[in-house]
Amino acid sequence: MSSGLLPKGDPALSSTDAHILRLIAAGLSCLALLVISACAPAPPFTFGNKIQEPDYDTIVPGKTTRADVLKIFGMPMAIAERDEALNLRSGSIWLNTGVVHGAPYIQRADSFFELFRDNNEIKDHHRIYYYYYTYSYKTGIVALFYVHEKERLSQRHLWLLVNERTGIVEDAFFQYKDSPGRRPLGVPKKEGSLRH
């Protein structure tokens, strides 16, 4: 009789022992398949408050108030004042090999005001409420030694020109972009921008 997992050529190995060892080998193979399967599905990364086109459509420049905006979209990522350097943050995204973590970065508010300069007379009491939403996910197919993964990224940007004296939204600009392929639920379009 064999006393261990690895028999050393014992000629007296019983058929029962051989059967047990076969079961162990099969079990190890199944375990290996389960382990490698762990590479496949990955939880998505979301960053910022969700912005959807139907929500954007509810904004009526000249009527929608700052309170309405906060109710619909929540707190903005930034409230930009002219000539200000904004401290923003990017969201984490999936690469096939892992995650690139979001990081803080600086951006001058002037570039945001460019969106509205041609259609509005920008004054000191104007602010831009900036919202940013990112959704990054990946899908994978695993077949033994072959691993095929795809990463996707959806981004939404919303800029609202708000008159701080009256509390009224005077203009809005919405930008959306999805990397090719399947889009997250409720996101109908692929790429473009909208303004009222």
Partner 1 sequence: MKTYSMTVKGLIMTALMLGGCMAQTSSFVSSNPLQSYDPGVSLRPGITTRQDVIKALGPPLTLARQGGKIIVYPDEVIPRGGTETSSDVYFEIFRDRYELRDDYIIYYYQSVVGSTGTMVVVAAGSTDIKAYVSKLWVLIDDRTGKVIDYEFRPAAKR
Contacting positions for partner 1 (CB under 8 A): 5-9, 13, 17-18, 21-22, 24-26, 28-29, 31-33, 35-36, 39, 85, 88, 90-91, 93, 95-98, 100, 102-108, 110-112, 114-115, 118, 145, 147, 149, 151, 153-155, 157, 159, 173, 175, 177-180, 191, 193, 195
CA torsion 175→178→180→186, rounded to 10°? Answer: -120
CB of 163 to partner 1, least distance (A): 19
Would you say 29 or 58 has its CB closer to partner 1? 29
What's at 130, amino acid-wise? Answer: Y
> Cβ neighbours of residue 103 under 8 Å, at least 6 residues apart?
89, 90
Would you say 101 or 125 has its CB closer to partner 1? 101
CB of 67 to partner 1, least distance (A): 25
d(C-alpha 37, C-alpha 108), whole Å = 45
Number of Cα atoms under 13 Å in the Cβ half of residue 101: 2
CB of 72 to partner 1, least distance (A): 21
* 24 φ, ψ (degrees, to nearest 5): -65, -45
CB of 93 to partner 1, least distance (A): 7
Would you say 108 or 165 has its CB closer to partner 1? 108
Would you say 2 or 49 has its CB closer to partner 1? 2
Q: Are strands 191-195 and 104-108 parallel, antiparallel or unpaired?
A: unpaired
Q: What is the torsional sign of CA 112, 116, 118, 121?
A: negative
CB of 71 to partner 1, least distance (A): 25
CA 105 to chain centre: 18
